[in-house]
A and B are shown apart, each in its own frame.
Chain A
């Protein structure tokens, strides 16, 4: 009973408070307090997450399951980063308090923690991000196959937008005077028309639907009509 009632009360009061805070400056500080509580919860939960990471990977190593070497690398990286960051190993001394080790800066590239971030984590994440180009190409190849009317429309629109973004677009249609009756045939004019009217109209329709969906979902949660997020055990 309490496992469901208390979370529902907390959710309802915090939800109503955040709505009121949108309209009254006097409740802004309450809003900040509520968001502060969430940050405290998230910090505590992070310990849970780290514990789970350790447990899962240690279990994988001890049972020698396939891929256990990756688990070992993960744990090694986790331990090194944790120690270097928590104890500020090799931190650059603070000019005002050079004798106090913990006052030093550890998130600059000169310190090991900053070095790990700048020269290991950032390149690795950039590599993952760069792969997106290939995924976009493969998804576009599949989506633009002209197999029905909708796909043909999609292909035509994409062709106009892509071509208008390149120098070829201006080369092909740039000679049409902007003030002539045929100016609508210019690729840059077509692109502007598609993005400013067709795309904007579609996106706004989706956005309005999303906003209403958020409002309805919030009301269901605040008034305790939707309790599916609560444990039934």
Chain B
């Protein structure tokens, strides 16, 4: 009798246990859920923050966001208003918060998103999901200045200031002595040789357009080569791979002929457009070199795979060759096949060097100051990295990391 009386009580206890079992395994809901726009960025990024009351019971955090107006009205859009952003380690939401990027811009404003609501839910250790907790709406806005570019801005200001300072100092009469650049001194020799041999001078201004600064530097050197050729009455040929470069080269060569006092010798047809196609251009120039056998070849500008084809053909015909490029990967080919090569910064310094003007020479000095700054930074970085490796947990490790981060490492 007693046993029969106990059955309902036991059943009730069992039911209560079954009913409360899933609730007992659920972790507590996320608390203090918030979403803030990332400061100093180009927009499209938001920090989502939350607190985890019971880290031991929480396996994952699910971050979702509401749809933008465009996403909600798009044809075939899903019915749910939420988009899964990420399923992450719950502890990532603490501190700075979890960074959500790639938020679409508003249709009417390319510098801000629509109002977006983020919500966070936890998944417990047994896979059960808590109800999602919403944060206040947030707008991801672009800021006026990109904070992660501050180191670059500082370097830019230092280099620009040193260049401008040296320009002003050279104007004020400070001595500006630049070392001799053999490749530029060889221009007269090369053009003179072509004149003596009665052959032409070939100038190749690279294969890029005028929006590439290497082409600008190449066309500047063309001015000097054309002036020398005009003075010596040597025939100059300039095949170009871009129409604008042809126009700029014509202006430059015509100016050089005027400057040399020989405007009547200017021949517009010697500066011609060939093709934009890289290897089509190379085929023309290489064929021309083999047939016409120019005595001097200048390669000044942006070059890629064609550099060696041109330089080897020039070498095969016995031309004196002067090359200049800032394409580091092509420099070994020019060094191997040409008589003189302007390496990287020398190529950019050529214009100032050839002009002989104090202002321009001063800018090269300023550039050297920038180089000194770079060398100093490398030495400091190397010392910090060495000290950090000797004591990985010491203060130098932090300093080394901060120094590397400052320079974008």
Residues of A within 8 A of B (CB): 19, 22-26, 28-29, 35, 38, 41-42, 45-50, 52-53, 55-56, 59, 67, 121, 124-125, 128-129, 131-132, 135-136, 138-140, 142-143, 203, 206-210, 212-221, 223, 225-226, 228-233
Contacts and interface: CB of A to CB of B under 8 A. Distances in A.
Contact of A228 (B159, B315, B355): B355
A59 B272 CA distance: 13
B243 A49 contact: yes
B407 to A, nearest CB: 12
25 contacts: A24-B144, A25-B142, A26-B144, A38-B211, A41-B244, A48-B247, A48-B273, A52-B272, A128-B282, A132-B308, A139-B336, A142-B336, A213-B344, A214-B348, A215-B367, A215-B370, A216-B163, A216-B363, A225-B359, A225-B363, A226-B360, A228-B351, A229-B216, A230-B251, A233-B255
B312 A139 contact: yes
A210 to B, nearest CB: 4
B110 interface: yes
Given A41-B244, A132-B308, A228-B223, A220 B360 contact: yes
Contacts of B216: 217, 221, 229
A23 B255 contact: no
B312 A135 contact: yes
A213 B308 contact: no
A47, A215, A218: which has the most chain B beta carbons within 10 Å? A215
A145 B182 CA distance: 23
Given A67-B291, A216-B348, A231-B251, A135 B308 contact: yes
Given A135-B309, A233-B258, 7 more contacts: A23-B145, A128-B279, A135-B308, A206-B344, A214-B213, A214-B326, A233-B254
What 8 A-B pairs have minimum CB-CB distances, sorted nearest first?
A213-B348, A49-B243, A209-B345, A45-B243, A49-B273, A128-B279, A213-B345, A25-B42
A125 B277 contact: yes
Looking at A55, A125, A210, which has the most chain B CB atoms within 10 Å of its CB? A210
B149 A22 contact: yes
Nearest to B286: A128
Interface in B333-370: 333, 335-337, 343-345, 347-349, 351-352, 355, 357, 359-360, 363-364, 366-367, 370
A49 B246 contact: yes
* Majority secondary structure, B binding face: helix
Given A129-B305, A135-B308, A231-B251, A210 B355 contact: no
A219 B160 contact: yes
A139 B167 CA distance: 41
A210 B344 contact: yes
B279 A219 contact: no
Contacts of B331: 206
Contact of A212 (B152, B251, B352, B370): B370
A220 B345 contact: no
Interface residues of B, number: 83
Given A49-B243, A219-B160, A220-B352, A25 B146 contact: yes
Contacts of B344: 206-207, 209-210, 213
Contacts of A45: 242-244, 246-247
Contact of A210 (B145, B247, B326): B326
A138 B308 CA distance: 10
Interface in B36-72: 41-43
B132 to A, nearest CB: 32
B220 interface: yes
Nearest to B365: A216
Contacts of B247: 45, 48
Contacts of B272: 52-53, 56
A211 B359 CA distance: 20
Interface string B251-268: 110110011000000000
